[in-house]
Structure 1
Amino acid sequence: MDLTVMDLPAYRALAVHRVRAGRPLQGQDSVAEEVPVALEFNGVSHAVMMATPADLEDFAYGFALTEGIVDATAQIHDCEYASGPQGYTVQLSIAASCFARLKEMRRNLTGRTGCGLCGTESLAHAVRVLAPLKMRPSFTAAAVTLAAASLREYQCLLAATGATHAAAWCTADGHIELIREDVGRHNALDKLVGALLRSSLDARSGFVLITSRASYEMVQKTATAGIALLAAVSGVTGLAVDVAQSAGLTLLGFTRGTDFSIYSHPEQLSLDSQ
């Protein structure tokens, strides 16, 4: 079971000055790294994201799919990354048809960030229209509860730093099979999607659990990966609910303990075994 791969330093130790009950103390702490990561497609720079420098190939694969640059893993021919004094560059070689589509996208967008719509030139480009999910399996409340109860024990980077989000892919019976962490919630989900793309797992057979709120982009990325249920530990936005309803995705918020709120497609979640 491949839970996480941290091939680059994701955090570092620092000497810190602590104050406990008003008394100064000397100690050590671990802080999560946050560096610029440039994503290049066929030699052309497309985006620079602030991210934790771990699982960068997963990040690039997931970003390429969830941002609509490619439609399948087979359209990514190669992926390499290199470090520099200012950060990391991830270079992807993609199919010519995908690169042509990317160039058309770049004509319409002057820039994007991991937080939303910065640089979008028109309302028509703000939210991608998603095709309804082709596979919409039912899941059980018991599975969601089991995954939520075990999530924290898999968050190694959070345990070390206290500063990261996580996105986990869970089997239909609620066992966490893959997890990725990052200082950014969007990045963590992209890394998870990329890990799924590069694995032999059928992403559509399970569901995603995230430690953050569920914005429309988190729903969009999950649905683009073909996954029919997204459970968020925190709240959801109105647009996230609208996108989930349209895509046929079951969206849960405030997933804590045995509790959660269902915002779309409750018929795809069985409560019988709860």
Structure 2
Amino acid sequence: MSTATMAAPPGARRLHTLRCQGGVPREAGDDVADEVPVALQYNGISHAVMLATPLDLEDFAYGFSLSEGLVDRADEVHDVEVEPVATGIVLHVEIASRCLARLKERRRTLAGRTGCGLCGTESLEQALPRCERRVAPLALGPGALSRALDAMRARQALQSATGATHAAAWCGARGELRLLREDVGRHNALDKLIGALARERRDAAQGFFAVTSRASYEMVQKTVRAGVGTLAAISAPTALAVHTAQAAGLCLIGFARGRDWVAYSATEQLTLEDLPA
């Protein structure tokens, strides 16, 4: 079967294009990542609209609810219904009544969260909420990071097909990849991963997160709220992300590429040799 007639992978669509290589144009098919508006409604109340890849949306609903502090535990999410509509997708999320009261206090519209992360915020206190939780990093050797990143590249099916998505992975102390989620938005990919861990009732603290993006304040905050003690990003962190990681005891690693990396906080948890077998 030719590539022009092959079906696109889930989360992408195959388009007809004109490709020019070496100055020679030819018709070809190309896989392009889907990006659709996804509205989150809690107990009938509209809360947020995100641009996201329409995959693993139940995980996204759980992860967003947990990482945004709308619920404290996965069992406070009672149901998630995915409803495709003409303009996108609506996630109908039913949460515990005590959490609904909290949501009403924070009700706001967050459109295009993947850009700035603060759209619709009304005050500086809302923009930078204090994360009271502290975490305990795992002891990792640099070989663990290298193995994790290699495994991530092999598992990013949507990125391989489209070149347009981020990934977030949960990995063991030796770098074994245990769970991975992809999305066009880096925040969304991490939310999906957090949601998948919660739905599968895994102890997130028994691993570390690796992401194919920079490490922003929000990525650090989501990691800490998930109870994970180490976040490794392939790109740079921001100063605010480093400050937040230091305050929470999070081991924050940037520029993680192969056996190269830069640790910005909780550096005592990193060793110069691999962990013993």
Matches within 5 A, 1:145-164: 145-164=146-165
Q: 2:151 and 2:22 mapped to 1: Cα distance?
A: 33
Give the TM-score, by structure 2 length.
0.92
Whole-Å separation in 1 of the counterparts to 2:235 and 2:54: 25
Q: What's 1:237 paired with?
A: 238
> What's the C-alpha RMSD, in Å, of the aligned pairs?
1.5
Partner of 2:20: 19
- Displacement, 1:205? 0.5
- Contact kept? 2:140, 2:274, Cα under 8 Å: no
In 1, the alpha carbon distance for the partners of 2:147 and 2:156 equals: 15
1:86–1:201 CA distance, 2 compared to 1 (3 A)? same
Gaps of 5+ in 1: 1-7
Residue type at the aligned position of 1:133: R
Cα displacement (A) at 1:119: 1.9
Q: Tell me if structure 2 keeps the 8 A contact 1:180–1:191.
A: yes
Q: 1:179-225 deviations in whole A, cap 9, x for unaligned? A: 00001111000000001101132110100000001110011111110
For 1:83 and 1:184, how far apart are their aligned partners in 2? 20
Q: Distance in 2 between matches of 1:169 and 1:185?
A: 14
Q: Which residue of 1 aligns with 2:57?
A: 56
**Partner Cα distance (2:85, 2:237) in 1:** 37
Decide whether the 8 Å contact of 1:110 with 1:121 is kept in 2. Answer: no
Match of 1:208 in 2: 209
SS at 2:264's partner residue?
Answer: strand
Contact (CA 8 Å) 1:61, 1:194: kept in 2 or not? yes
Aligned to 2:94: 93
Partner of 1:5: none
Which ranges of structure 2 fall in alignment gaps of 5 or more residues?
A: 1-8
Identity of aligned residues (%): 54
The alignment partner of 2:215 has SS state of coil
Contact 2:215 2:254 in 1 (8 A): yes
Residue 11 of structure 2 aligns with which residue?
10
**Cα distance, 1:76 vs structure 2:** 0.7
Structure 1 window deviating more from structure 2 (256-265 vs 118-127): it is: 118-127
1:120 Cα offset (Å)? 1.5
What is residue 128 of structure 2 aligned with on the other side? 127
Post-superposition offset of 1:20:
0.7
What is the count of residue pairs matched by the alignment? 265
Q: Which amino acid aligns with 1:144?
A: L
Q: Which amino acid counterpart does residue 260 of structure 1 have in structure 2?
A: W
| 1:137 Cα deviation from its structure 2 partner | 3.1
Measure how far apart 1:54 and its partner are: 0.4
Alignment of 1:1-274 (within 5 A): 9-106=10-107, 109=108, 111=110, 113-114=113-114, 115-273=116-274
Residue 142 of structure 1 contacts residue 271 of structure 1 at CA under 8 Å; is this kept in 2? Answer: no
The whole-number CA distance in structure 2 between the counterparts of 1:26 and 1:128 is: 51
